[in-house]
């Protein structure tokens, strides 16, 4: 599933192409996604101008005069940009479910083979949408820091990896980057969250920021069907220290990387380097 770096990469890819542009036509070929596409979306968006593009958690937000589109990529979704004259014009793929054509010919395509993503219209500010209203701070924001993390974990006896993936604590730290961040911070994913020291929380918060920042710079990871807005895959998977490397030598100490299940998610760690 695309995680925060993949979504941020997509945002940076589409934003300069559609901000300030007016919608000319919307085509919804498949309204049955994770949640139904609004039946009047074409009429709602026609003639409206994109005021701003942003991201909250793993949701892309396209703001218009009367509301906003919240787009979630699900397990296999992507947003692709085609400018006037590109080959895609007039030749939709069978998994191209929503097209937004702008007045200058720019085309934004939502593609999703597994149809587990979402294209939601909301008449209001995105932060008040029920899916985002109780979300925690962004991991790359100043609000997410060691002090905040230490205070937030005091009453959480669950495994620290599970806590780190809780969107009420911090948004967007998915399975891949939780594994990688805990390795970089030398913290066992099994540690009870409330037993982390203040210094460990400082280290972990800083490590989360660093890992996500490097992943964004690498264009995210190649995750099954994920491609960014120009059809290219990310390459951060080449830098994985533990994720997906069960049985391989730890890049630091040489001990075989172990795999277990925590909170129904595959968990990769080095039992020597992480305590």
Choosing from 3, 6, 184, 200, the catalytic residue is 3
Choosing from 12, 34, 209, 265, the catalytic residue is 265
**DSSP readout, 56-74?**
ETTEEEEE-SS-EEEEE-T
Name which of 163, 183, 194, 148 is nearest 257 in CA terms.
183
Q: Are 207 and 184 in contact (CB under 8 A)?
A: yes
Residues 238 and 48: their CA atoms lie apart, in Å, by 41
CB count in 10 Å sphere of residue 108: 24
Choosing from 56, 58, 63, 80, the catalytic residue is 58
Choosing from 2, 5, 139, 189, the catalytic residue is 2
Query: Is residue 95 annotated as involved in ligand binding?
Result: yes
Query: Is residue 129 annotated as involved in ligand binding?
Result: no
State the Rg of the chain over Cα: 20
The yes-or-no answer on residue 2 being catalytic is yes
**DSSP readout, 68-118?**
EEEEE-TTT-EEEEE-TT-TTTT---TTEEEEEEETTS-EEEEE-TT--SE
**Can you list the pairs that 161-166 forms with residues at least 24 positions away whose Cβ atoms lie under 8 Å?**
161/189, 161/190, 161/262, 161/263, 161/265, 161/267, 162/193, 162/262, 162/263, 163/193, 164/204, 164/208, 165/263, 165/265, 166/136
CB count in 10 Å sphere of residue 34: 16
* CA 132, 134, 137, 143 torsion-angle sign: positive
Residue showing tokens 């559609």: 18
The yes-or-no answer on residue 58 being catalytic is yes
List, as residue ranges, the binding site for DNA. 95, 114
List, as residue ranges, the binding site. 95, 114
Residues that are catalytic: 2-3, 58, 265
């Amino acid at each position: 599933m695309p995680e925060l770096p993949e979504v941020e990469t997509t945002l940076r890819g589409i934003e300069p192409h559609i901000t300030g542009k007016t919608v000319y036509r919307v085509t919804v070929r498949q309204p049955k996604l994770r949640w139904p596409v609004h039946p009047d979306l074409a009429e709602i968006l026609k003639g409206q101008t994109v005021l701003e593009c942003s991201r909250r958690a793993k949701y892309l937000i396209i703001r218009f005069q009367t509301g906003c589109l919240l787009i979630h990529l699900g397990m296999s979704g992507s947003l692709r940009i085609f400018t006037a004259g590109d080959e895609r014009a007039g030749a939709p793929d069978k998994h191209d479910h929503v097209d937004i054509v702008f007045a200058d010919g720019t085309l934004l395509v939502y593609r999703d083979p597994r149809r587990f993503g979402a294209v939601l219209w909301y008449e209001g500010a995105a932060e008040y949408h029920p899916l985002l209203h109780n979300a925690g701070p962004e991991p790359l924001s100043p609000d997410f820091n060691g002090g905040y993390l230490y205070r937030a974990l005091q009453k959480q006896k669950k495994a620290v990896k599970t806590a780190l993936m809780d969107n009420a604590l911090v948004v967007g730290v998915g399975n891949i980057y939780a594994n990688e961040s805990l390795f970089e911070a030398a913290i066992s994913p099994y540690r009870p969250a409330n037993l982390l020291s203040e210094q460990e929380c400082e280290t972990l918060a800083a490590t989360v920021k660093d890992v996500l920042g490097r992943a964004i710079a690498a264009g995210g990871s190649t995750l099954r069907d994920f491609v960014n807005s120009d059809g290219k895959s990310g390459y951060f998977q080449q830098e994985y220290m533990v994720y997906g490397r069960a049985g391989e030598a730890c890049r630091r100490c040489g001990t075989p990387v172990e795999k277990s299940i925590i909170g129904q998610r595959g968990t990769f760690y080095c039992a020597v380097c992480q305590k």
